[in-house]
Chains A and B, each alone.
Chain A
Amino acid sequence: MDLKIKINGEDWTLDVAPADTLLDVLRERVGTKSPKIGCERGDCGSCTVLIDGRSVRSCLVLAVEADGHEITTVEGISYDGLSELQTLFLENNSFQCGFCTPGIVLSATELLEQNPNPTRHDVQEALAGNLCRCTGYEPIIDAVLAAGDGGSE
């Protein structure tokens, strides 16, 4: 089946199988490896990508469902240097092993787009679908709060 999508600003036309997930296509056909395979059932959030700015678990999205849409991964927001949020992740040590980080950066990016000055509870809610086993979340929450308009809440 033909799939026309925009991935990180670049147009792609791909012949995909009906059962291919968006995650399969991004990793194996396009070579975009920042969305990770963690559980393949939507529990862990390490495959999170943005479709038209909204976060999804790309392991649960069939590639054909993304036809005509625009996909953003962490590679897409890293072209022109780091975003403010990414810089704050560096300063706050908001990652350890880094496996969940691309998904978390995208979920937090979406939150800040929707709600530029989130509360601690807002941040926890936005990240509740992204599992991190290393950090204990605290430094991640700190970075996202610092990226909010108020800087703190």
Chain B
Amino acid sequence: MTPTDTFLFEAESGNKDLESVGTPAVRIDGRDKISGAAQFVDDIDFGPGLLHAAIVESPHAYARIISIDTSEAEKAEGVVRVATGTDFPYKFGMYMEDRYIFAQDYVRFVGEQVAGVVARTHREAVQAAKLIKVEYEVLTPLLDPREAVAQDADLIHPDLDDYTHVPWFFPQTNTNIAHLRKIRKGDTEKAFAEADYVLEDTYTVPRYAHCAIEPHVTVSKLDFADRLTVWTASQSPHTQRHLFAEALAPLGFTHKDVRVITPYVGGGFGGKAGVSMEILGAALATLVKGRPVKLRWTREQEFYNTYQRQGVVAELKVGVKSDGEITAVEHKLYWDAGAYVEYGANVVNAAGLSATGPYRVPNITNDSLCIYTNLPPGGPYRGFGYSEFHFGLESHMDRIAEAIGMDPVEFRRKNAIVEGDELAYGAHMNPSGMLEAIDRTAAAIDWGVEEESDNPNTVIGKGISLFWKAPAMPPNSSSASFLKFNEDGSINITVSGMELGQGYLTVMAQIAAEVLSVPVDKIRVETPDTDRNPYEWQTVASHVTWSSGLAVEKAAIEARAKIFDVIHQVYGYEDDSLYLEDEKVKCRTDPSFAKSLSDFVIDGIQTEDGTWRGGPIVASGKFMPEFTNANSDPETGQGGHPNVHYTVGATGVILEIDKETGRIWVRKAALAVDAGRAINPDLVKGQITGGLVQGLATVLYEDMRFDEGGKLLNPNFTDYKIPTAFDIPDEIIPIIVEVPQPDGPFGARGVGEHTMIGAAPVIANAVYNALGVRIKSMPITQEKVAMAIIEKSEN
């Protein structure tokens, strides 16, 4: 972004008070959602021609397919078509092409798709799928990432060297390491030798499930003109179109032949980013021309055959001086990335770049290893690697502070990264309100004031943790927008970011409303259809408020310029004397002039000779972060500028623990996040509340459990518990910090993912504060706490 683009609007408008941006505008999708009008993919009617698909899945974590017999299924009632890997010997992948649509010779996780059945009814498809006989040679699975990196481990992907991948991945030949992100900065060895105190330990984090309440669902149709239309519950319509077109190119598809339509999505959290099961539906539809095919995941499949949050074993070593200055960090992250890492490898990459946490660290050795295992594919989940490594890192910071006799808040304040500090990869930190976030969070939980429980059976603990996160995205990922006026001065905007619940559509409307002086409720922002909405990379990385927001701001500024141009042509006022207010064009040099937008934004303005000027006001805007690049030295990670900026913040809790049962109640939780500028403060608070509760669940009870054969044991809401209305803190204090992002729309940056990152370590720290026991593996369940209390009393 060039300096002239910075603060586009403010630069032009002077100090005009903002009317839409910064206000708690009512959500523009609100009526749809509370009235039952909101349509999700599964709610769309496709008529009597609709077919249904069911998928045959591997019962083994690792096996060679000997044979597949589909003959009985083909004869079954209602079956229209059966397909296997031989029908689609095509690879696909987001950052690395390591997946086949249907398994070819091998299956590499329990649940991997082996065959598909298309039938007239859902029941017939499910029944016929049971008739497909697959013979396997069962192999020994690798389920532990540290076993998978051992010298003599079997290779899960022997052809790894041949896989196509983005240039910033570094697969390690003849290993199960699909990508190794290294950071080398300064002289870590020397710094540890000279440190006054060094702490080294290992932290473990299991796998987690997104649990959007809407399961994945897709309907695909190849029409008789060879047009493939796919309706999906997705965060990534354009990326899906691109990957469908790429994977199915051997069948003759090009991008213009593929259309992806994404209505409202019932929650994503990363689980509906990229492409997972949707490619099965798209492929199957190519075999039954003219008929739409619906594939809907069951809740069980939702757990074991979409992306899962990757587990990690983190070996962390941190050195400090006696005054508390951090001098060196060595962080080795062993990621259980699963059977396919086409998306998950970038989680590993993002974590490796930022695994120092939000601290100023002169000497760094980070190794982030993306390790193939025979568990379901890992992938993006709110926090994108940061939630995982912050658990150990922020636990470690508390321990170091205690060891050197420093207050944990003071220790963090001293080392917190601030604007201009050098990052691990050599670029510099953006403006940030970290110190304000720390102070306001600490104040909200009365940090430093010891509290005693009234109940003799319980103890009170307090904790604090910091977080940071940058959007993880290719350096050229872009956003675009189209904007058009209607006769009454209302506006339709098309973008291709997704309304996942975060309030994206409303925020885009607020940005356009601000520039064009139109009320938010006169703006409709539509969900994507890749045929008519302009490009957006994906709705991930908490980047759309920033990136798509800039595209919308630019479109609005272009529309405004066109409006002023019409006025200039007809009335002669200079463009720079004109401004917009209350849906009218006004003039600084002629206060008597006021022209309503609705008078001319479609029909134009008639001149004295009876002819017309103007016409429909339409505009477009686009944004690409032209200052980033992902080219860096594979051995040191130095030289690139892979991240656009970081969003930072702090989390604090007061909790109460039953000393006998280990039960934890979160009495108060405070979370401060630096939104740069909160375009809609109520929506930022919504992210804080929702993200915090989601994060607390990962540390208090959620946990994916696998048996020794790699089969998920708890693929449902009875056995994998997510929070109910009872499982929330007694009080949540959302704190919005606003230190503007210079290149953000009105100074905004994203906050969505960040709000769950601090939850896990803050509980670990508060449990220690209450009981003096340090739990180094997630989740910190009631059982684990109770056992730790017993163990402590016995010692």
Residues of A within 8 A of B (CB): 27, 31, 33-34, 36-41, 43-44, 46, 73-75, 78, 82, 86, 89-91, 93, 95-102, 105, 123-125, 127-141
Contacts and interface: CB of A to CB of B under 8 A. Distances in A.
Interface in B731-759: 732
20 contacts: A33-B39, A33-B43, A38-B214, A39-B299, A40-B299, A46-B214, A73-B36, A86-B35, A89-B30, A93-B683, A95-B34, A96-B503, A97-B214, A97-B499, A99-B213, A101-B38, A128-B725, A131-B722, A135-B690, A136-B694
Nearest to A81: B35
Interface residues of B, number: 57
Given A39-B717, A43-B717, A82-B35, A133 B269 contact: yes
B212 A133 contact: yes
Contacts of B722: 131, 133
Given A37-B215, A43-B716, A97-B267, 12 more contacts: A39-B717, A41-B299, A41-B718, A44-B717, A75-B36, A96-B501, A96-B503, A97-B500, A131-B213, A133-B267, A136-B728, A138-B689
B27 A128 contact: no
B522 interface: no
B467 interface: no
Contacts of A40: 298-299
Contacts of B211: 131, 133
B664 interface: no
Main secondary structure of the interface of B (DSSP, over half): loop
B690 A136 contact: yes
B724 interface: yes
Given A39-B717, A127-B725, A135-B686, A99 B40 contact: yes
B249 interface: no
A139 B267 contact: no
Mostly helix, strand, loop or mixed at chain A's interface?
A: loop
Nearest to B691: A136
Contact of A98 (B38, B689, B691): B38
B695 to A, nearest CB: 10
A38 B732 CA distance: 28
A139 B728 CA distance: 12
A97 B725 CA distance: 17
A34 B40 CA distance: 10
Contacts of A123: 725
Nearest to B690: A136
Given A39-B299, A138-B732, A99 B26 contact: no
A135 B689 contact: yes
Given A36-B40, A36-B266, A91-B26, A96 B502 contact: yes
A98 B725 contact: no
B27 A90 contact: yes
B42 interface: yes
B36 A102 contact: yes
B267 to A, nearest CB: 4
A86 B26 CA distance: 13
A96 B690 contact: yes
A27 B36 CA distance: 12
Contacts of B502: 96
A97 B690 contact: no
Nearest to B33: A98
Nearest to B32: A98
Given A43-B718, A86-B34, A99 B267 contact: yes
A137 B723 contact: yes
Contacts of B694: 133, 136
Which of B214, B683, B692: most chain A Cβ within 10 A?
B214
